[in-house]
């Protein structure tokens, strides 16, 4: 597709009028960054600003995957961020960038550039909760009963094997030896890790079950290097678990999750799922009797198929650990 700017007012979506001269901070390092700037200025009519110049404050940030990889540390959470994902961006790099930046939205460039105005309007109309400093991977489901807790336990096992001691806060029914049930307001206590149940076969992994999804509550992780939060039915997650159906596709479109875990149980076309992911990694997980049997026997996560675990490895690479 031609990445050049299409001239004339007709190229600007009609919803752009309320966002004329929108101050936008650009963090771009891709080879075609100049074309992105030309589109933002010449077609959308937005005004690029310098975040360090002390002038007009930005109301939106546009960043691309190479820029996220090049800049150390987290961005402030004062303005919403849109991550631009190109066709040539490696899936693992996209997952790492999304985990690091925690954007409010992800847009494919240049294929989905026409959606930028509607995306910006939606983001500016609501307030996104600020990110915390806690080292955490949030696993959410686009609907109930999609396997969010199972995926959270699988991610926790991978994190324990690859990154170090890990604590999983499970909100759903845990398919393993029953862990201790704790109230949300006790998670900040130093004893949380000590009271969490060790998982047989996964040294360094502990699990505690919470009375409600642990969203936005402080947690004392103790010696844990990683905390995995099973946030239940929520689009605001780093990992979004969904069925291959209309509700799942809609949830993926709304979510800024860095990776989608798709239960191949539904009639939505696979291209529709891929389009909704906007080039973020998509892990297709078939409905498996082996996974069900592991749950019934209480052997999750150690009895999950190796292919299931292997597909989730991009979330727990050393790059993700350093990129927090």
Average pLDDT, the chain: 79
- Judged against a pLDDT cut of 70, whether residue 89 lies above it is answered with yes
Report helix, strand and coil shares of the chain as percent, to nearest 5.
35, 20, 45
Per-residue confidence (pLDDT) for residue 146, from 0 to 100: 84
Average pLDDT (239-259) is 90
**What is this structure's pTM?**
0.66
- Judged against a pLDDT cut of 60, whether residue 130 lies above it is answered with no
- Judged against a pLDDT cut of 80, whether residue 71 lies above it is answered with no
List the domains of the chain with CATH numbers. 9-124 (3.40.50.2300), 136-322 (3.40.50.300)
Residue matched to tokens 């010449």: 42
Average pLDDT (143-164) is 87
Number of helices followed by number of strands (H, E) in the chain: 11, 14
- Judged against a pLDDT cut of 50, whether residue 320 lies above it is answered with no
Per-residue confidence (pLDDT) for residue 9, from 0 to 100: 34
Per-residue confidence (pLDDT) for residue 225, from 0 to 100: 87
Average pLDDT (196-224) is 86
């Amino acid at each position: 597709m031609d990445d050049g700017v299409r001239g004339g007012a007709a190229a600007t979506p009609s919803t752009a009028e309320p966002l004329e001269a929108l101050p936008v901070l650009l963090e771009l390092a891709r080879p075609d960054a100049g074309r992105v700037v030309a589109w933002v200025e010449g077609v959308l009519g937005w005004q690029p600003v310098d975040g360090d110049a002390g002038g007009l404050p930005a109301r939106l940030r546009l960043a691309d995957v190479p820029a996220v990889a090049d800049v150390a540390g987290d961005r402030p959470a004062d303005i919403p961020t849109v991550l631009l994902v190109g066709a040539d961006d490696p899936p693992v790099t996209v997952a790492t960038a999304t985990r690091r930046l925690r954007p409010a939205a992800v847009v494919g460039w240049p294929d989905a550039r026409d959606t930028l105005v509607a995306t910006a309007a939606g983001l500016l109309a609501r307030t996104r909760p600020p990110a915390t400093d806690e080292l955490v991977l949030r696993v959410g489901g686009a609907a109930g009963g999609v396997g969010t807790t199972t995926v959270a336990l699988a991610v926790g096992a991978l994190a324990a094997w690859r990154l170090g001691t890990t604590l999983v806060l499970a909100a759903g029914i845990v398919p393993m030896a029953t862990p201790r049930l704790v109230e949300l307001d006790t998670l900040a206590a130093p004893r949380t890790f000590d009271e969490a149940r060790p998982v047989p076969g996964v040294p360094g992994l502990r699990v505690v079950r919470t009375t409600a999804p642990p969203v936005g509550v402080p947690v004392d992780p103790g010696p844990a290097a990683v905390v995995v939060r099973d946030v239940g039915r929520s689009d605001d997650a780093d990992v979004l678990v969904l069925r291959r159906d209309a509700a799942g596709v809609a949830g993926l479109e709304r979510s800024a999750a860095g990776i989608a875990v798709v239960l191949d149980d539904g009639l939505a076309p696979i291209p529709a799922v891929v389009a909704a992911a906007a080039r973020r990694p998509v892990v297709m997980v078939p409905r498996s009797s082996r996974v069900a049997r592991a749950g019934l026997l209480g052997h999750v996560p150690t009895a999950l198929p190796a292919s299931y675990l292997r597909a989730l490895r991009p979330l727990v690479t050393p790059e993700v650990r350093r990129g927090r």
